[in-house]
C-alpha cells in the first residue's frame, strides 16, 4: 500500500504512466519483455538479456498482451518463429505503446530465420532491428545494449 500524504492523497509513482483515462502502466526500462512460442528459445534469450544486466519477462504470445497493458518495458524481443508470424498478435499492442510514448519506445527486436532488414523482409514498421537465428550472445547482446542505451 502506498503511503498517504498530509492531504489524504495517494502520491503517484514516478514511473507510472497514464495511457488514457482508465489505464495506467508502469514504465520500467530495466525490464525486457521476451516473447515467443518456444519455451526453450525464451530461456536462451532471457539468459542473454540477463547478461546485459536487465530483467527478462518471458511470456508466450498469448499472455504477453496482458503484460503490455500493465508494464512498459525497456525493450521487447520477439521470436518470430519459422515464418516471422508467431508474434503478429502483439503488433497492435506494441504500436499503441509506441504511439502513446510519442517516440519509438519501447524498441522492438525481431529474431528471424531470415537475414535482412525490416523493409526487405516485409515486416511492420514497429520492428527496429532484425537479428538472424541462430541466436547467440555475440549476436543479440550488443543489439540489446545499443537499443537500451548502455
pLDDT digits (tens, 9 = 90+) for 56-75: 999 999 999 998 888 889 99
Cβ atoms of residues 86 and 36 within 8 Å:
yes
36-45, 61-70, 79-88, 122-131 — most confident range: 36-45
pTM reported for the whole predicted model: 0.81
102 class by beta-carbon count within 10 Å (0-12 exposed, 13-18 middle, 19+ buried): exposed
Cβ atoms of residues 19 and 85 within 8 Å:
no
Predicted confidence band of residue 24 (pLDDT cuts 50, 70, 90): low
Q: What average pLDDT is seen over the chain?
A: 83
Rounded CA separation 86/46 (Å):
18
Amino acid at each position: 500500500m502506498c503511503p498517504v500524504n498530509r492531504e489524504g492523497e495517494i502520491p503517484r509513482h514516478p514511473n507510472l504512466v497514464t495511457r488514457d483515462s482508465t489505464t495506467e502502466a508502469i514504465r520500467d526500462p530495466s525490464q525486457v519483455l521476451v516473447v515467443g512460442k518456444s519455451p526453450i528459445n525464451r530461456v536462451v534469450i532471457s539468459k542473454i538479456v540477463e547478461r546485459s544486466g536487465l530483467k527478462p519477462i518471458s511470456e508466450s504470445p498469448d499472455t504477453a498482451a496482458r503484460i503490455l497493458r500493465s508494464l512498459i518495458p525497456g525493450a521487447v524481443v520477439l521470436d518470430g518463429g519459422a515464418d516471422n508470424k508467431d508474434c503478429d498478435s502483439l503488433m497492435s499492442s506494441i504500436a499503441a505503446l509506441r504511439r502513446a510514448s510519442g517516440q519509438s519506445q519501447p524498441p522492438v527486436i525481431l529474431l528471424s530465420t531470415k537475414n535482412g532488414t525490416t523493409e526487405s523482409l516485409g515486416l511492420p514498421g514497429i520492428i527496429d532491428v532484425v537479428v538472424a537465428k541462430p541466436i547467440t550472445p555475440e549476436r543479440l547482446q550488443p543489439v540489446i545494449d545499443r537499443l537500451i542505451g548502455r
